[in-house]
């Protein structure tokens, strides 16, 4: 490792240990790291968005005299009236515009991706093979879980039995999700520990060499 | 003027954007492209507002001796990233901006997420006491899934098969049901917003 790499890794290792210090209890080292990462992240996104979206969609459009972009720029500037007590109501116009466009675009997208696509992936042709039986189980489980979400009817009798199967299905889903999340976090932990181990070995080699 | 016009704004823009999806023409594509760009432009100014609000709060905290150090840390982190990223080419690998990103942001974020492993385990200990049939099912499923990456000798293959089945069948069914439910809920909320039934986004006077 070069001297520069050792220095950068030292910074990363110190910050990693500062975050791990939270395991003992909340302390100034953790608070320092927490605030530092908030500032660095805000600064990173500020410059990234400035150099990509702001430059392309505000500065360049104005330089190229694309006058249609004056409307969203004025609406965007109207957002800043939020700081004024008397004129903060003006900021509702850009918010309304943003919300209106976003909701209008979202309805068909949700309908296609979250409803139609899911239903068509569930309702595949049945047969009596291993995969086919699994498909039948998936269809029954999806229907039972959807029945569980139907709260306009009391969950008693046959409906209660169906919704009970639904909640068992959901619990298996939550359990699987939980297991996967834990494994993901543990994998990250292992990665950080390996980083620290590699860093200390590299540091020792650097000074020995 | 203060409340009615924004509601009409939402109604008209929402319905227009909904209709354009079902009208395949050059005009509707043009409208979709411009509307999306306009939303991005408005979003950029909203983001700037958020950054301004953050800086204003932190600068105020500088006056308080108890909070000054942490506020100063945040401002230092922010401005160092801004100054090191002033030119577009400085955002590429090999420049100070990206070195700071790779050696401050990435390790801290990864470690914070890694830290959650301990807290998730501690929460699981409390939540996973198999008191009911439902909790037992959740516990068993999570346990089988977590054993997936551990070498278990002769039962490894059985466990892999069980994990594969759980993920592909009941887990898939649960995720699909949740996705369909979330989708229908989101559509209902969008319709409520467009029709002016849901107005919380407007805030209060």
* Average pLDDT of the residues in A83-90: 86
Suggest the residue from B2, B7, B10, B199 to mutate for an interface test with chain A (most A CBs closer than 10 A): B10
* Average pLDDT of the residues in A181-207: 92
d(CA B139, CA B145): 10
Distance from CA of B152 to the nearest CA of A (A): 16
- 10 Å CB burial of residue B117 (0-12, 13-18, 19+) is buried
Instruction: Give the pLDDT band of residue A66 (cuts 50, 70, 90).
Output: confident
Q: Identify all chain A residues contacting B187, using CB atoms and an 8 Å cutoff.
A: 106-107, 110-111, 115
Suggest the residue from A14, A36, A39, A185 to mutate for an interface test with chain B (most B CBs closer than 10 A): A39
Q: Is the pLDDT of residue A99 over 90?
A: yes
pLDDT of residue B204: 66
Classify residue B182: in a domain, yes or no.
no
Domain shared by B43 and B105, yes or no: no
Q: Is the pLDDT of residue B134 over 90?
A: no
Range of the domain at A202: 123-209
Instruction: Give the pLDDT band of residue A172 (cuts 50, 70, 90).
Output: very high
Residue B143 contacts residue A144 (beta carbons within 8 Å): no
Domain shared by B52 and B100, yes or no: no
Domain shared by B2 and B77, yes or no: yes
* Average pLDDT of the residues in A50-54: 91
Q: Over chain A, what is the mean pLDDT?
A: 92
pLDDT of residue A76: 92
pLDDT of residue B156: 86
Local structure of residue A68 (DSSP, 8 states): G
Question: For residue B187, which of A103, A99, A96 has the smallest C-alpha distance?
Answer: A103
Range of the domain at B105: 96-127
Domain shared by B6 and B27, yes or no: yes
Has the ipTM of the complex gone over 0.90? no
Listed in sequence order, the residues at least 6 apart from B127 whose beta carbon sits closer than 8 Å to its beta carbon are B135
A68/A176: higher pLDDT: A176
Classify residue B114: in a domain, yes or no.
yes
Summarize pLDDT for B184-202 with one digit per residue, the tens. Answer: 999 999 999 999 998 888 8
Instruction: Give the pLDDT band of residue B177 (cuts 50, 70, 90).
Output: very high
d(CA B181, CA B173): 12
Domain shared by B1 and B59, yes or no: yes
Q: Identify all chain B residues contacting A74, using CB atoms and an 8 Å cutoff.
A: none
The two three-digit tokens of residue A133, written as one number: 């039986």
Distances (CA, A) of A22 to A85, A101, B125: 41, 43, 20
Classify residue B165: in a domain, yes or no.
no
């Amino acid at each position: 490792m070069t001297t520069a790499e050792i220095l950068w890794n030292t910074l990363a290792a110190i910050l990693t240990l500062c975050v791990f210090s939270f395991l003992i209890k909340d302390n100034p080292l953790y608070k320092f790291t927490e605030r530092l990462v908030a500032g660095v992240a805000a600064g990173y996104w500020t410059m990234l968005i400035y150099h990509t979206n702001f430059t392309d969609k505000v500065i360049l459009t104005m330089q190229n005299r694309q006058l249609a972009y004056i409307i969203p720029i004025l609406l965007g500037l109207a957002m800043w009236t939020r700081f004024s007590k008397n004129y903060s109501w003006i900021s509702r116009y850009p918010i309304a515009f943003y919300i209106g466009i976003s909701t209008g675009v979202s309805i068909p997208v949700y309908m296609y991706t979250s409803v139609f696509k899911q239903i068509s992936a569930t309702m595949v042709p049945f047969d009596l093979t291993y995969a086919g039986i699994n498909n039948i189980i998936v269809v029954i489980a999806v229907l039972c879980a959807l029945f569980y979400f139907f709260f306009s009817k009391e969950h008693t009798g046959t409906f209660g039995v169906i919704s009970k199967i639904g909640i068992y299905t959901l619990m298996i889903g939550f359990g699987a999700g939980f297991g996967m999340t834990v494994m993901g976090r543990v994998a990250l932990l292992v990665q950080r520990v390996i980083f620290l181990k590699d860093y200390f070995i590299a540091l020792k080699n650097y000074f020995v060499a | 003027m203060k409340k009615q016009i924004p509601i009409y704004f939402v109604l008209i823009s929402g319905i227009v954007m909904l209709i354009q999806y079902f009208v395949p023409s050059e005009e509707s594509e043009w409208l979709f492209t411009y509307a999306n760009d306009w939303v991005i432009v408005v979003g950029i100014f909203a983001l700037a507002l958020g950054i301004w609000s953050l800086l204003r709060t932190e600068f105020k905290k500088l006056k308080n001796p108890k909070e000054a150090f942490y506020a100063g840390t945040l401002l230092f982190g922010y401005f160092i990233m801004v100054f090191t990223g002033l030119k577009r080419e400085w955002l590429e690998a090999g420049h100070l901006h990206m070195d700071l990103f790779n050696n401050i942001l990435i390790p801290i974020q990864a470690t914070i997420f890694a830290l959650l492993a301990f807290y998730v385990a501690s929460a699981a200990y409390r939540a996973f006491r198999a008191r009911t049939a439902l909790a037992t099912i959740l516990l068993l499923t999570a346990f089988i899934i977590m054993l997936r990456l551990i070498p278990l000798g002769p039962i490894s293959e059985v466990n892999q098969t069980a994990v594969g089945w759980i993920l592909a069948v009941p887990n898939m069914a649960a995720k699909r049901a949740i996705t369909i439910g979330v989708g229908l809920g989101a559509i209902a909320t969008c319709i409520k917003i467009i029709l002016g039934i849901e107005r919380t986004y407007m805030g209060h006077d």
